[in-house]
Amino acid sequence: MKRAGILRGMAYGAEFLLLYLLQQVPGLFPEISYSLPVLLIPAVVTAAFFEEEVPAMVCGLFCGLLMDFGSGSFLGAKALEFAIGGYCVSFLASDFLKTNLLSAVVSTLALGGIFTLLQCIFTALFPGNSESGYLLLYHLLPRTLYTAVFAVPLYYLNRFLATRLRAPADP
């Protein structure tokens, strides 16, 4: 039982690291409205659908730390956002949501929208940027929609990982 959990964790870690590297490659994904997708948001959401709250929070923490290390900004801000997001999605998926593709896409849009609003508030609105509405409407919201497209293949990948790397006695 414990071995399957360790294998799943290693598989998720390798997946998150690969997705982070892919999103950092210039020119790999086409730009839509001068923005690129954040592949780690749907990865955390879809992994949280198949894991309990604490492993989903650890997945979010790992992805957030990857984002923090890559951005060069305040260390821990994205890690905290992603960890709380992974925990909340896992809690909602275990008690209130059905585990299906539509729920994963809607949850990705919701979590991405929350992250987008937080980014707009703390990077544009609080510093007094007069063009925060333009930033939100023409850059951040298209990036959120672009990110949600990747929830479909990542849902099926994480469903495969969660079902194949689970011990027979696990629920």
The answer as to whether 6 is a domain residue is: yes
Q: What is the 3 state secondary structure string of 88-123? A: HHHHHHHHCCCCCHHHHHHHHHHHHHHHHHHHHHHH
pLDDT in tens, 102-134: 999 999 999 999 999 888 888 776 676 777 777
Q: Is residue 170 part of a domain?
A: no
**Token pair of 163 as six digits:** 């079902």
For residue range 72-108, list pLDDT tens digits in order: 777 888 999 999 999 999 999 998 999 999 999 999 9
| DSSP state, residue 32 | B
CATH code of residue 15: 1.10.1760
Asked if the model's pLDDT at residue 22 lies above 90, the reply is yes
Domain count, the chain: 1
Q: What is the pLDDT of residue 48?
A: 95
30-72 per-position pLDDT tens digit: 998 888 999 999 999 999 999 999 999 999 999 999 999 988 7
Residue 66 located in a structural domain: yes
Residue at 96 is within a domain: yes
Query: Do residues 124 and 99 touch, judged by C-beta distance below 8 A?
Result: no
Q: How many angstroms from the chain centroid is the CA of residue 102?
A: 16
User: What integer pLDDT is reported at residue 33 of this predicted model?
Assistant: 86
CB atoms within 10 A of CB 81: 21
pTM: 0.90
Q: Which domain holds residue 70?
A: 2-164
